[in-house]
Structure 1
């Protein structure tokens, strides 16, 4: 199989726009295998996500057999691209697997995994990265004149009615961002090496298109052609720790950045709303109606006139802020001004 048989889809974890575009891309590509960023040894659990009893949000729970308190979670929401990719694969009889470092390596002590001189915390491993590597989307947002990555990604990807070939554009942007970068932290380098090896193995195994679903930042590294021996050498002696895995219930609020979840989003409820109203032109109006319903249920007087004013104000704020349409911030500010009085 040639390189053209592998398609890379760089997504934002828990991005509803990414999920929608990804499902459309998979439907067009019709891959025989879908490989997803996630702990490789949890692949047998992936098809369970498609069972009707599995109502998201849920989380893949992993813990060392000898230390259950040291638990790691990989959350999946209805609007998570990885979740939708899994549903598509199961529904269309395509193979679906995780390709990242196995949980047995992730639950090993950071000193052994990363070979760094940090105090053993993932935060310190990440702190060693340059700013544009710690927050690549934030860096692109600043270059485009935005204050934060959330707003930029929302305008370009999540709420853009005509995003165009977004996955190619994302790959180009990340390639430019990572061009000339210094060496990654050892743990991140091992992750990408493991994913490249898994992709290489899948290319030998499957006859047909293969889809790679991963965080946008990793796309350039996974597309790069490197000798297998180099990646194998990088993973030689990788520390492992016997671990247990299962699915566990999760909650929407725990998908938020405010809960300390590094891959979280600012407003999980808004992301769920965007997913459920995708393709509709009145997502903003429906969001304000939800706010009004909550306020009325709590005994607050919210008139139809106030709702109309809030919607008008949100659109005006979007124009002033040079955004293509009202986003979460505009609707929040408009609701506070027009409804909370």
Structure 2
């Protein structure tokens, strides 16, 4: 559904040329939910704007839903929904009127627009708010209206650019419940950018991480965490010297630390390795006082790749 090769975008500034995207290659299959992560300034939003025909690439080629983003931009726009970071609905316009206007912009008939608007109002639990203006809605309600606007013409691909930013945890969870339910019922392809790593970890089938205009990682969340971050085992033992020595001999052990009685080590498959580690300590006469395994996060993946925290750079 989304295909790009060598996609680049540069901007001329007073200081010189800025290469925002330096060669984007990506493929997104039909029905896939892909999360696109990276700190501010990494090139995420510029990439999305190129894929949604809002910004022409400086170099490279891309197609969305089978249509070239440059040569057939109108066909791309008819097949995609785009939910940007700002509220799409007008502050003084009534909710249902906004949806009908969107339907008209998509060249839908009045009857089809009315039917689709009422369908989405019900699906997104906006019933009873049809005559409310945008400025009178809560943050979560506004974002659900934005989703409805993006879905009016039943797009094949939905681009979500940080859809839950600024929402409280309850509203975020509620918004995602609706998005996932819609995806399940339609089989729609979703391309998501977000700063909430837990969203990408739990929702996406695949995660792409971008930094300095380049994609530096592309895999499932579980494989990225297992292969690029690893599990962190922490042991408190009455003989930390022995514990540190044995930790160094664990399979694929790295980042070994010792602080008093506490020894830490990063390994692959920590839950399976920990029992063997404890048995080896027991055989050497070292008593284990406490032990735990911490599963990695996507922020750990970014930290391992760049030496920086994605959470901190995003903030």
Q: TM-score range by the shorter chain?
A: under 0.3
Which has the larger strand fraction? 2
- Normalized against structure 2, the TM-score is what? 0.24
> Structure 1 length normalisation: TM-score?
0.23
Q: Which has the larger helix fraction?
A: 1
Report the structure number with the largest CA radius of gyration: 2
